[in-house]
């Protein structure tokens, strides 16, 4: 049976990526929660998916100027103590992203915060950015790492992930079939899929044997995964 992670918390009830959403997911009895971390202009690690809030770019804003519903990574970890957390580092070279840290400082700051906070190391750090994951692996040979994938060839990605000593592939579920899972397993990689919301898709992912399903409807996913 795959693990079920609440994507950005239980945001069918609460605002996504907030302490309330994380608390509700934990109360549901979820295996884990996926959340998104960014870095403010004053170096504080905060939880938010999009690069800006009401037109203000997070990376250019002081943490004290952000809305009160935006938690810090430390606050999120404390709220989620006792469940696994998939920490997605939002650092990627993309026209939709106003900033990119190529130094590795952002990634290492996240790792340091996780080491200091109540984070279960059975959790995982994920990113779409290969360089970010490489920086993390260089900094910590044991931290669990998952490579988020969208358009890449999954077999080639599995080969590269194995060479880089990552732990998992995180592809969009629509790209995954039983062969994908088998070939990943041959390279000692987990397959953790996002974002699976429709019952038929959830059932399909359970049947082909993925390790983890990230869903916006984790209650339904939990029922169908039994």
Our CA angle for 89, 149, 44, nearest 5°, is 5
Q: Is the sign of the CA dihedral 53, 134, 191, 143 positive or negative?
A: negative
Question: What's the CA gap between 170 and 157, in Å, rounded?
Answer: 10
- 45-47/32-39 β-pairing: antiparallel
CB 150 within 8 A of CB 172: yes
What per-residue confidence (pLDDT) applies to 42?
A: 98
Please identify every stretch of the chain with a pLDDT value under 50, giving residue numbers as ranges. Answer: none
Residue 16 is predicted with a pLDDT of 98
pLDDT tens for 73-123 read 999 999 999 999 999 999 999 999 999 999 999 999 999 999 999 999 999
* Residue 201 Cα to chain centre, angstroms: 20
How many angstroms from the chain centroid is the CA of residue 137?
A: 16
For residue 159, what pLDDT is reported? 98
Q: CATH number of the domain that 92 lies in?
A: 3.20.20.190
- Tell me: the pLDDT tens digits for 165-180? 999 999 999 999 999 9
Q: What is the pLDDT of residue 153?
A: 97
CB 215 within 8 A of CB 25: no
Number of separate domains in the chain? 1
Look up the domain containing 179 and give its range. 3-224
Among candidate residues 33, 189, 37, 59, the one with its CA nearest the CA of residue 108 = 37
* Rounded Cα distance, 143 and 124, in Å: 7
**C-alpha dist (Å) from residue 193 to 13, 65, 107, 143, 149:** 22, 34, 22, 19, 9
**pLDDT at site 33:** 98
Residues facing residue 3 across a β-bridge: 212
């Amino acid at each position: 049976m795959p693990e079920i992670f609440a994507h950005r918390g239980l945001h069918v009830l609460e605002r996504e990526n907030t302490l309330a959403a994380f608390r509700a997911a934990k109360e549901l009895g979820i295996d884990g929660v996926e959340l998104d971390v960014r870095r403010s202009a004053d170096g504080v690690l905060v939880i938010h998916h999009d690069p800006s809030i009401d037109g203000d770019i997070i990376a250019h804003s002081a943490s004290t100027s952000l809305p009160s519903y935006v938690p810090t990574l430390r606050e999120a970890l404390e709220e989620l103590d006792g469940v696994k957390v998939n920490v997605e580092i939002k650092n990627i070279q993309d026209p939709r992203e106003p900033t990119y840290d190529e130094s590795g400082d952002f990634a290492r700051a996240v790792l340091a915060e996780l080491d200091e906070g109540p984070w279960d190391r059975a959790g995982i750090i994920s990113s779409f950015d290969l360089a970010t994951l490489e920086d993390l692996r260089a900094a910590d040979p044991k931290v669990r790492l998952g490579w988020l994938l969208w358009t890449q060839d999954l077999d080639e990605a599995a080969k590269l992930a194995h060479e880089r000593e990552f732990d998992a592939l995180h592809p969009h579920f629509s790209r995954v079939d039983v062969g994908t899972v088998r070939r990943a397993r041959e390279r000692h990689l987990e397959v953790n899929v996002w974002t699976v919301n429709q019952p038929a898709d959830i059932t399909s992912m359970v049947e082909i044997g993925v390790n983890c399903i990230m869903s916006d409807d984790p209650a339904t996913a939990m029922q169908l995964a039994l």
